[in-house]
Chains A and B, each alone.
Chain A
């Protein structure tokens, strides 16, 4: 077995999961200026819905994922429409604490709605792998990497090349001005929350086969996605994606070559030290506060 290429390919697989979750966080941050702490738990809820539908009704996985998309969009709409939009006077801190409260709500709701038994979710492609020299990667792993890269690239194109993307970027840069220019910023924000929900759900479905579906199975993804945003900086959409892959690679190599137990913790320490030297992330510009 190749001891460099093999863990590297594995890291790309988990990196894609982190990247999707991080994209959800960053798109909410850019449009609402709110750190979306509930990204992981909303993904967990929609992902658990996928597992529930798949296990109960016996429909194919891709149909169950479509149900998951519907659940995720509905959750995103609900959170923005029923809560975030009504918080006219709330500051960013207030909204962030609300997303912290939502973590607890979804965590408490999931076992009530879907039952307390842990569930399993199979891979998209059950078997088969490709040999790359001494290393190998499963078709499913390759698909996960592809999903991550394609969605990140697609989102990037959408943001840079389409009118909708322009609206999102305008809202991100200055919401009141964008509204005055005739951009329906409320719809943009609504869309951002729904998109974040779908990205979280996809991340959940992709990570689920490696573990069991319980209310806490997205915790590592959520934490890693947050760190990916810190590492990549909050100013760009591609920064967190690069950060996500980097985190996955570093964490896997630390686990393999330094300590299988303390790998993640060492990486967290590295991120803290990194913050000391590059506080705005890899691609961040110096953050200036306007008075």
Chain B
């Protein structure tokens, strides 16, 4: 990344710090740390309910990472996320418990079917205006929600579908092993997202974000990449749904309403667009903070609508005052340290100014434009 590091003498500290610069190593270390949590819970250091809350944070982080690909890179909104997550959950339950085809087939079904439906919806709606995707996905979410309520042989209706912990590689899982499987899935998704964004696809998406017309002129098939981003979002949503079901072992139609989709959008916005760790942090803020903190507050903790107001206000305030979200906050906090490091390595050739390294494509996000937007 920076040229000055090569000339710097290798101190013992830098031997540890240096590999951490690699994103994949970061993801694996993050995952390894998360894997300690079930052991901590078993030793009595954490309540089991807290562990469950954290598991849902990680599941929703997977879903939100997909939406971040969509929203962060192509500026498209999906209001159908909850429907696709729910579909993944019910498919996993149906294939595992009703058809008894085992964990892997159930997982595959939960990945393939939502992605296929996503491709169809995207193909119908993306040819017009970007905003039509939001409405079309809302359409599909309404249809799916009704399906969950009515299609008794598939979902058990409002009574809810019951399931059990899956058997993976001949091993009966329980709460702790399921948590570790979720962590593994999250780390894999983070890597996949990172590679997607830094590969050829990512370059096309970046180009589209700066100027769709310019990207088109350079030979980027805008429809294809928008479709790709949306199908990635539905793929992650299906995966999140399957993991949700395997962990909670039940699913009710009322879970998969519009407000879950809005909460996922809130996770992306609060975490920071196009930031992988930011999205995970956003999922924590939106899902775990109301669960672990707000509910315990005196007086206002009992108010039923509090989590809604919390998410809604955060969306409004973040876009108004701090559109880069938690990622921007982290960058801001890191800046003094970077300056310090730059000063310390004066003996070497001048490294790049850390403030230049923010984002090669400019600080504007799909939420804010550099100058006032021209009306279309």
Which residues of chain A have a CB within 8 Å of any CB of chain B? 33, 35, 37, 83, 86-94, 96-98, 100-112, 116, 174-176, 215, 219, 223, 226-227, 230, 261-262, 264-265, 268-269, 271-273, 275-276, 279-280, 287, 289-291
Contact = CB atoms under 8 A, between A and B. Distances in A.
5 tightest A-B contacts by CB?
A101-B315, A108-B305, A104-B312, A108-B308, A94-B367
Given A98-B315, A262-B146, A103 B366 contact: no
A93 B308 contact: no
Interface in B145-161: 146-147, 150
A87 B320 contact: yes
Contacts of B309: 104-105, 108-109, 112
B308 A97 contact: no
Contact of B311 (A33, A104, A223, A290): A104
A275 to B, nearest CB: 5
B143 A265 contact: yes
A287 B131 CA distance: 13
B316 A116 contact: no
Interface string B254-290: 0000110010011001000000000000000000000
B308 to A, nearest CB: 3
Interface string B99-132: 0000000000000000000000100110111111
A102 to B, nearest CB: 6
Contacts of B75: 91, 93
Contacts of A261: 146, 150
A40 to B, nearest CB: 11
Nearest to B308: A108
A176 B374 contact: yes
Given A94-B319, A268-B142, A287-B128, A103 B304 contact: no
A100 B307 contact: no
Interface in B130-145: 130-132, 134-136, 138-140, 142-143
B306 interface: yes
B374 A275 contact: no
A105 B372 CA distance: 27
A102 B316 contact: yes
Given A93-B75, A104-B308, A108-B307, 10 more contacts: A93-B130, A94-B367, A96-B134, A97-B367, A101-B262, A101-B312, A103-B312, A106-B312, A107-B259, A290-B374
B375 interface: yes
Nearest to B130: A93
Given A97-B315, A97-B367, A33 B308 contact: no
B77 interface: yes
Given A108-B305, A110-B305, A100 B262 contact: yes
B39 interface: no
Contacts of B77: 93, 96-97, 100
B376 interface: yes
22 contacts: A37-B134, A89-B371, A90-B319, A93-B130, A98-B319, A101-B313, A106-B312, A108-B306, A108-B309, A174-B375, A176-B374, A215-B305, A219-B258, A223-B138, A223-B142, A226-B135, A262-B150, A264-B146, A268-B140, A271-B139, A272-B125, A275-B125
B136 A275 contact: yes
B13 interface: no
Contacts of B262: 100-101, 103-104
B135 A264 contact: no
A112 B299 CA distance: 12
A285 to B, nearest CB: 12
Q: Is the interface of A mostly helix, strand, loop or mixed?
A: helix
B131 A107 contact: no
A101 B269 CA distance: 10
A93 B367 contact: yes
Contacts of A88: 372
A94 B376 CA distance: 15
A158 to B, nearest CB: 22
Nearest to A107: B308
Given A92-B373, A287-B129, A83 B305 contact: no
Given A33-B376, A279-B127, A91 B369 contact: yes
A223 B135 CA distance: 9
B323 to A, nearest CB: 7
Contacts of A291: 213
B368 interface: yes
B313 A105 contact: yes
A287 B130 CA distance: 12
Interface string B76-89: 01010000000000
A109 B313 contact: no
A110 B131 CA distance: 28
A230 B323 CA distance: 29
A272 B123 CA distance: 10
A98 B318 CA distance: 9
